Each structure stands twice: as C-alpha cells, then as structure tokens.
C-alpha cells in the first residue's frame, strides 16, 4: 500500500499532536523527540478524539479520562496499570490497543501508510 502525505514537518512542533483524517479514518500524528508517530485518532475507551492528549516519554495520555497508550506499539497501558483486570472483567472490552501506522518523512512531508502494524 502506498504512503499518503498527511502534513508537513513544520506543522507539528515537537511534543505536539495533530488529528488528521485519511481516507475517512481519524489518525493522530505525534511529534516525539525521536521522530513522528501515527496512531488511530479515537480512544478505545469511549471513541473520543485523542487530539490534545499529552505525550511524555513515548506515552500518549488521552485528554478525556487519561487512558495511556504506548505510541510505538499502541498498547493500552492504563487502566491495566491501575486495576486488576481479573477483578474487573467489564473493563476488558475497553482496554484495547490503538492501531499504529508506519510513518516516513519525504522532503519535509509526513507520510503514513494505512496498513495496520499491530
């Protein structure tokens, strides 16, 4: 599958995110200290947009109720860190990972591939 240009490097300062739509799919672009990342744009908790979420050391914090995701793998780190899932089985359906997408930079353009990586 081809890469699609979704923004320019200068559009997203380091430490910030931007929600874009690619082929009707919301995608969150993240400019972390070591490069750009792309994850699906809606939180697995209540399907709300992740735009405005803070990123710190590779972890994205959802601005709504603070689920946390590894931006490299999409793993949902919270509430797994907080609640014993065996004791709260109803949480399982909400503790889903985010899809992540391959990112490359070409001539200062941020390009993503909509193939699911995980």
Give whichever of 3 and 64 is closer to ligand FES, judged by the CB atom: 64
**Among positions 4, 19, 48, 77, the unique one binding ligand FES when judged by CB under 6 A:** 48
Smallest distance from ligand FES to CB 98, Å: 10
Give whichever of 6 and 43 is closer to ligand FES, judged by the CB atom: 43
The first and second tokens of residue 51, run together, are 């735009």
Question: What is the SS3 assignment for 12?
Answer: coil
Smallest distance from ligand FES to CB 115, Å: 24
- CA separation for the pair 49, 3 (Å, rounded): 23
Strand-pair partners of 20: 27
- For position 69 contacting ligand FES by CB under 6 A, the verdict is no
Give whichever of 24 and 47 is closer to ligand FES, judged by the CB atom: 47
Interface positions, 17-46, toward ligand FES (CB under 6 A): 43, 45-46
With CB under 6 A as the contact rule, which of the stretches 6-14, 63-71, 82-90, 104-112 interacts with ligand FES? 63-71
DSSP assignments along 23-50, one per residue:
TTEEEEEEEETTEEEEEESB-TTT--B-
- CA separation for the pair 76, 110 (Å, rounded): 25
Picking from 74, 78, 67, the residue whose alpha carbon sits closest to that of residue 116 is: 74
- Which residues lie near ligand FES (CB under 6 A)? 43, 45-46, 48, 62, 64-67
């Amino acid at each position: 599958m081809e890469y699609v240009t979704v923004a320019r490097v200068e559009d997203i300062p380091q430490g910030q995110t931007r929600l874009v739509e690619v082929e009707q799919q919301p995608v969150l672009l993240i400019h972390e200290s070591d490069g750009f990342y792309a994850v699906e744009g809606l939180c697995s908790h209540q399907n709300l947009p992740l735009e405005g979420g803070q990123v710190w050391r590779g972890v994205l914090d959802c601005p709504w109720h603070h689920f946390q995701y590894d931006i490299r793998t999409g793993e949902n780190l919270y509430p797994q860190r907080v609640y014993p899932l065996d004791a709260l089985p109803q949480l399982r359906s909400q503790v889903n990972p985010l899809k992540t997408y391959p990112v490359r930079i070409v001539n200062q353009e941020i390009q993503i591939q909509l193939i699911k990586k995980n």
